[in-house]
Amino acid sequence: MNEVSFLIGGKAGFGIDKSGTVIAGILNRMGYRIYIYRDYPSLIRGGHTFSIIRASKTRVACHLNKVDIILALNQDTFNFHKARLKEDSLIISDSDVVKIEGVSNRVIGIPITGMVKEENAAEIMRNTCVIGALCKAAGISWDILDEIFRKEFTKEIDINLKIARRGFDAAREEKRIEGLGQAPLAMLTGNQAAGLGLIRGGLKTYISYPMTPSSPILHFLAEMAPDFGLKVIHPESEIGVVLMALGASYMGERVAVGTSGGGFCLMTEGLSFSGMSELPVVFIVGQRPGPSTGLPTYSAQTELHFVLNAGQGEFVRLVVAPADPEEAYYWSAVSLALSQKYQIPGIILTDKNMGEGTFNFDLSSMGEIREEPPLLWDRKSEYKRYLDTENGVSPLAFVPDRNAIVKVNSYEHDEYGITAEDQQITTRMNDKRLRKATYLAKDLEGYPCVKTYGNKDSSTVLLCWGSNKGVCVEAAERSGLKVVQPLVLWPFPVKQFQDALQGVKKLICVENNATGQLTRLLKAQGFGTDKQILKYDGRPFSLDELQERLSGV
Amino acid sequence: MEQKDLGTYAQNTWCPGCGNFAILNAIKTVLGELNAEGLPLENVVLVSGIGCHAKIVDYINVNSFYSIHGRVTPAAEAIRLGDPKMKVIGFAGDGDAYGEGIEHLIFAAKRNIDITMVIHNNRVYGLTTGQYTPTSPQGYRGRSTPEGTKELPINPLELMLASGATYLGRGTSHGIELLKKLFKEAILHKGFSLVDVLQVCVTYFNMYEYYDKRVYELKDHNPLDYQQALNKIREWDYNRDARIALGTFYKRGSPTFEEGFFKQAVPPPERMEKIRLILESSI
């Protein structure tokens, strides 16, 4: 079997999310490459939540609408997802609470609710029972289940295994999934990878106010804090977050903040302050559908122009949009370094799909991450925080320094950092700050700012950014198209983009928004696109859906 | 860093007679004294917001962070969290700290983080030409409230006491000796300290005479006693005519937020090794 997809569904509070991770862990252990799409509403208990786990011989980063096995812990799961069944798909259900009707698929019905009661176990353990049944049905050995369970369940392992065994013994083999013999890879969410990338980049301080889909970065780094000597702070508001970050930056700390569009709204005064004071801060902006509260737990690519233009006044910023955990790791580290080197704000645009999706992660595939040491004061001449230099970057000194007085300022200021409203100083300091863009762009030429995939000879290109890359690459590979993905969106990597478009005649832009934000950015850069495939229902493209939309253009 | 005069070349643009001069002179004296007593001046960072008060950082030749309106406190907190040696003194106006930035002030007090806030409380927006602030008396006629304000002022000291501040004092810009004493006490206090300075705006709300008639210095007051502090703080509510007490209202020792925050960063090779371990455990 080259690939297989599972759907597990139930109410929030059933442990669906954990079950998805366990199933992916089992398949990963068997040598499959995995991807998990998580779909859940904005509530704590109830509703309908599900995960689609896709396992494949080769790396995958998107899901399919159709699935091979549905694990139904409640009636809704069957009712809502029966359209995903193929002729030979299998349903494993809790026969105590789920009635399967109107389909001709094979069904393994197990009285899971009753079994869990008999064992005096918590209701949440129904999911361990169904995983046991899944393993038997797929011919997966008990040993693998045992190994993954012992890793994933640190508490109550005995009872979990006992319940899983009841499910295992009650099921029958129906759909054999063979191991592939490939070495398993690490599994990470985009948010975890971004957190690790920040750590790799020398993060000292992470400050965040909880907001979906970026809260998991806060949780992850808070957990990592003792081990890596990090300061992780959750203050009163996003305004508090960004101003604390600027204070930490003033102290010479590499600092990042994480939020979503709504929180970033509150941070924009601090973003502009970062531009003026030349205090570097990295902002992770996890996109979700808006306007306003929108769909808090779903996904979108709607903040590109917001982050490109946010903040009053004119200042240089770095904007990157990684597509998967490996890119999130790499660009989080690079953004921290470049943001400090150029003393500018750096923005990492992620989204719910990437941030909360689980992917394989291969550190060895990533290539070297260049060190970009900041320019430090030579201690020879009198210290001026805003010394005007050829590339606009002033040497840094950090307090406390016996020989330097460090004055930063949100007002226009002179080289010492003292307020100035003089015309000449105003022009000169604007030039100094804006000049950094040219040098940053030159530096970025040495980075993979634009990537290409698929059939490199194709004259038709799928253009994408952020988390759409995975689905675009797979669709392109299946239909002989080329994919071009700009990873750096500001300063726009014009040369690399031109190179990627050599010999290309038709550009189809694929985005998770309603207005074609990348198309607009490209137009401003002098690049026209031919077609747009847009989706703005809060859900990512599945591979089958994108293929269908592609056949229409 | 040793300096005889803590001034800079920046031209002072406050109005003649502005209450800010008293704060400027008092803090310069206190910094000089603390320096003579062994505090290296490089360990001091002054933070200010936006408004007339904020120019103070341009006039003092030590490290400074000229922030934006309402945002003195969070920046000051993070600077303090950056190094256990730092003495961080935030200057903010009443519009700045008690209006736009009130949430930050409440949380800093709640955390009992070891910073000092000096509030230039002139009870009017000066730089934006005379609008009412959170501490203006009811009925105040400003350019945004020509009929007079309909709301009552807040009593900032009462609010700070309730929020968990561990040092609270009040002075006026007509009493520089008391200001020096309060500033020094506040800076040396371990925990969140706030000094409310009834600083007079001579142009938009000249209260010199009003204050001179009503102020008195606290005597036989026990600042360790919460109830006594509360009673004295409530004696004048920033609205009705009453005697206005000056001095140290409250002072209490309590654990501070930053304890435990000063950790060593992990060097790069060890960091990479730990990252690899985390990845291995995710297989």
pLDDT, tens only, A65-122: 999 999 999 999 999 999 999 999 999 999 999 999 999 999 999 999 999 999 999 9
Q: What is the pLDDT of residue B262?
A: 82
Whether the CB of A53 is below 8 Å from some CB of chain B: the reply is no
Which residue segments constitute the domains of chain B, with CATH numbers given? Answer: 20-258 (3.40.50.970)
State whether residue A39 is helix, strand or coil.
strand
Could you tell me which of A293, A289, A325, A321 has the C-alpha nearest to residue A307? A321
Distance between CA atoms of residues A376 and A520, nearest Å: 39
Report the residue from A204, A247, A400 with minimal CB separation from B40.
A400
Whether the CB of A553 is below 8 Å from some CB of chain B: the reply is no
Digit-coded pLDDT (tens) for B172-186: 999 999 999 999 999
Q: Do B63 and A407 touch (CB under 8 A)?
A: yes
What count of CB pairs under 8 Å joins A to B? 166
Q: Do B66 and A244 touch (CB under 8 A)?
A: no
Q: What is the pLDDT of residue B261?
A: 85
Chain B residues close to A366, C-beta within 8 Å: none
Position A400 pLDDT exceeds 60: yes
Which residue segments constitute the domains of chain A, with CATH numbers given? Answer: 3-170 (3.40.920.10), 187-365 (3.40.50.970), 375-444 (no CATH), 450-552 (3.40.50.920)
In angstroms, what separates the C-alpha of A185 from chain B's closest C-alpha? 6
**A470 to each of A185, A400, A465, B282, how far by Cα in Å?**
18, 47, 10, 21
**Phi and psi (nearest 5°) for A65?**
-65, -40
Q: Do B81 and A231 touch (CB under 8 A)?
A: yes
**A340 to each of B27, B129, B173, how far by Cα in Å?**
33, 39, 42
**B120 to each of A390, B19, B145, B198, how far by Cα in Å?**
41, 8, 22, 7
Report the residue from A199, A205, A409 with minimal CB separation from B275.
A199
Whether the CB of A267 is below 8 Å from some CB of chain B: the reply is no
Distance between CA atoms of residues A186 and B77, nearest Å: 38
Whether the CB of A312 is below 8 Å from some CB of chain B: the reply is no
Digit-coded pLDDT (tens) for A320-358: 999 999 999 999 999 999 999 999 999 999 999 999 999
Could you tell me which of A471, A163, A426, A508 has the C-alpha nearest to residue A323? A471
Q: What mean pLDDT is reported for chain B?
A: 96
The number of beta carbons lying within 10 Å of the beta carbon of residue B203 is 17
Angle at B172 between CA B32 and CA B187, to 5 degrees: 40
Chain A residues close to B58, C-beta within 8 Å: 418-419
In angstroms, what separates the C-alpha of A36 from chain B's closest C-alpha? 14
Digit-coded pLDDT (tens) for A403-444: 999 999 999 999 999 999 999 999 999 999 999 999 999 999
The number of beta carbons lying within 10 Å of the beta carbon of residue B221 is 17
Distance between CA atoms of residues A459 and A467, nearest Å: 23
Bridge partners of B169?
A: B195, B248
DSSP class of residue B182 equals H
Q: What is the pLDDT of residue B175?
A: 94
- The interface predicted TM-score (ipTM) is 0.97
Position B99 pLDDT exceeds 70: yes
Distance between CA atoms of residues B36 and B13, nearest Å: 29
Laid out side by side, the sheet with A460-463 consists of A450-454, A482-486, A460-463, A506-511, A531-534
| Overall average pLDDT of the B218-224 stretch | 97
Position B7 pLDDT exceeds 70: yes
Picking from A410, A413, A425 by the largest number of B CB atoms within 10 A of its own CB, the best residue to mutate is: A410
| Whole-prediction pTM | 0.97
Digit-coded pLDDT (tens) for A442-481: 999 999 999 999 999 999 999 999 999 999 999 999 999 9
Q: Do B8 and A418 touch (CB under 8 A)?
A: yes
Report the residue from B42, B71, B74 with minimal CB separation from A399.
B42
DSSP B23-51: HHHHHHHHHHHHHHTT--GGGEEEEE-SS
The token duo for A25 is 């862990």
Whether the CB of B55 is below 8 Å from some CB of chain A: the reply is yes
Distance between CA atoms of residues B10 and A76, nearest Å: 71
Distance between CA atoms of residues A88 and B207, nearest Å: 86
Distance between CA atoms of residues A251 and A235, nearest Å: 18
* Cβ(A152)–Cβ(A18) below 8 Å: yes
Whether the CB of B261 is below 8 Å from some CB of chain A: the reply is yes
Confidence label for A301 from pLDDT (cuts 50, 70 and 90): very high
| Overall average pLDDT of the B250-279 stretch | 92
Report the residue from B1, B77, B264 with minimal CB separation from A402.
B1
| Partner B, chain A 200-229, Cβ-Cβ below 8 Å | 200, 202, 204-205, 207, 224, 226-229
**How many C-alpha atoms does A146 have within 13 Å on its Cβ side?**
6
Position A553 pLDDT exceeds 90: no
Report the residue from B43, B71, B261 with minimal CB separation from A231.
B261
Digit-coded pLDDT (tens) for A132-174: 999 999 999 999 999 999 999 988 999 999 999 999 999 999 9
Confidence label for B119 from pLDDT (cuts 50, 70 and 90): very high
Q: Do A247 and B77 touch (CB under 8 A)?
A: yes
Q: Do B283 and A187 touch (CB under 8 A)?
A: yes
Distance between CA atoms of residues A47 and A58, nearest Å: 34
Q: Do B271 and A405 touch (CB under 8 A)?
A: no
In angstroms, what separates the C-alpha of B67 from chain A's closest C-alpha? 6
Distance between CA atoms of residues A499 and A450, nearest Å: 9
Count of residues for chain A?
553
Percent of chain A with pLDDT over 70: 100
Could you tell me which of B263, B266, B267, B282 has the C-alpha nearest to residue A193? B282
Position B5 pLDDT exceeds 80: no
* Cβ(A5)–Cβ(A53) below 8 Å: yes
Position B1 pLDDT exceeds 60: no
Residue of A nearest to B100 (CA): A239
Residue B67 CB partners (closer than 8 Å, separation 6+): A243, A246, A273, A410, B47, B48, B49, B50, B54, B75
The token duo for B283 is 């297989």
Picking from B67, B72, B106, B273 by the largest number of A CB atoms within 10 A of its own CB, the best residue to mutate is: B67
| Partner A, chain B 69-88, Cβ-Cβ below 8 Å | 71, 74-79, 81-83, 85-86
The number of beta carbons lying within 10 Å of the beta carbon of residue A445 is 10
| Partner B, chain A 19-38, Cβ-Cβ below 8 Å | 28-29
Rg (CA), chain B: 20
Q: What is the pLDDT of residue B139?
A: 97
Q: What is the pLDDT of residue B3?
A: 56
Percent of chain B with pLDDT over 90: 93
Q: What is the pLDDT of residue B265?
A: 82
DSSP B98-153: IIITHHHHHHHHHHT-S-EEEEE--SSBTTTTSB--TTSPTT--BTTBTT---SPP
State whether residue A320 is helix, strand or coil.
strand
Residue of A nearest to B41 (CA): A402
Whether the CB of A408 is below 8 Å from some CB of chain B: the reply is yes
| Partner A, chain B 2-41, Cβ-Cβ below 8 Å | 8-10, 40
Confidence label for B147 from pLDDT (cuts 50, 70 and 90): very high
